[in-house]
Structure formats: structure tokens, C-alpha cells
Amino acid sequence: MAHLKRMARRDLAIDLEFMVTAGEREADIESGLCALVRKVFSKREAQAFITCAPDGRTDVWLDTTAPSGLDAQVLVTHVNELLGDYLVKVGLRLHHVYWQGSLIPSSANVLRTVKVLGPASADDIAQYLEGKGYSSIPGRWLKSQLDGLRRRGFIAWHDDKYIITASGLSLLPRSRGRTGSDVERTLVLGRRQW
């Protein structure tokens, strides 16, 4: 959808807005997946999001870090089997499970992106993260991350744009190198048309 939006803006001078909403069925499935994951991790906070292909293949996006240590692979395999069994019971087929930190950015990466781009829309943030190697981020997952950061007071939302707060700035490490967020923000501001 992001590609279509860019093409419409470039070729037709039309700004498109897509709204992706989860139906009651998807919300119920995601609630069940969250309960399964929380049970396996003994009350650890976790969120689950699904994206479904028309043929029923379903990707599950888990907003909890993948386990590490000696038993990590056994635990990951166990979680994947549980999720696969659950999805079969609701008429879907598991395609892949994505853990935070593998193909989706951490909350810190999202916060850093808001700092670099701010004020920025959710679409701007998604495009920037896509350019950083995080392709195929579900829009609902990103909105959930942004909302969580906003509720904790690390970012603010005004006129459909997100900006970092002083609390959010205090969380990010200071870096003086060329890859630091301050340098990156300066470059982004320099390219912005005022």
C-alpha cells in the first residue's frame, strides 16, 4: 500500500490514505494468541498481531523479544507449534512467526525514528524504518507501538504527527559519531522543505 501511495503522489498528484482495521474475528484471534504466548512466558507482557493472505496463510507478529539461552530454540519451537495448532482450529494456516528484534524494530528503534523525523506521521515513520531494513511492518503493529510510547509519555501526538518528548529524549543514548541520531536528525531537517 505504501508503494501505491507513493506512485499516486508521484504520478497523479493525489494523496491517498489507507485505513486498515481489524474485524472482530481478527481481534478475537489475536487475543487468543496473546493469551497463549503470555502463558508460555509466565505472565511476560506480549502482544500478537496477524496478517492473513487470501489463501489462509497467516503470519504472526509477536511483540515480545525472542528467548535466549540454551533452551531458546526448544521454547521458540514450542511457541510456534502452539500458535500453529491454535490457528488451525480457527481455520487459518501458520506461515511464519516474527519475533520483535528479528524483522520488526524494537520500541527503542521506533522512538529513535520519531526523534530523527519528528514531527512525523505514522506513514513517514514506517517508510523510514522500511529504508532501514525493516520491511513489511504491519501498520497496526506500528500504531500500537506508537500508542504505547505515547501512553508512557515518551512521545506526543498532535495533528496526526508524532514528536519526541523530553522523557523520550532522556531514554536515548547520546552518540557523537556520524551515525548518531542528532547528526541524522540534522541531515533530515536539512533536506526538509520549509
| Residue-range domain boundaries for the chain | 24-100, 104-191
Distance, CA of 94 to chain centre? 19
pLDDT score for 185: 76
* Residue pLDDT, tens place only, 88-120: 998 888 888 877 655 567 778 888 899 999 899
Which of 9-13, 141-145, 163-167 reaches the highest mean pLDDT? 163-167
CA distance readout (Å), 111 to 29, 46, 148: 28, 19, 11
pLDDT score for 162: 94
pLDDT score for 141: 77
Tell me which H or E stretch contains 161. strand 161-164
In whole angstroms, give the CA distance from residue 47 to residue 59. Answer: 14
Tell me which H or E stretch contains 80. helix 72-89
Tell me which H or E stretch contains 58. strand 57-65
Question: Which CATH code of 3.30.300, 1.10.20, 3.40.630, 3.40.50 fits the domain covering 24-100?
Answer: 3.30.300
pLDDT at 194 over 60: no
Average pLDDT, the chain: 79
pLDDT at 127 over 80: yes
Query: What CATH number was assigned to the domain covering residues 104-191?
Result: 1.10.10.10
pLDDT at 50 over 70: yes
Rounded to an integer, the average pLDDT of 149-166 is 90
CA distance readout (Å), 25 to 4, 87, 176: 27, 12, 48
Q: C-alpha angle with apex 166: 161 to 170, nearest 5 degrees?
A: 120
In whole angstroms, give the CA distance from residue 141 to residue 32. Answer: 17
pLDDT at 54 over 90: no
Rounded to an integer, the average pLDDT of 160-182 is 79
Share of the chain above pLDDT 90, in %: 13
Sheet containing 48-52, strands listed edge to edge, beginning at the edge strand earlier in sequence: 48-52, 57-65, 93-100
Exposure string for 86-101, b = 16+ CB within 10 A, e = fewer: bbeeeebebbebbbbe
pLDDT score for 2: 65
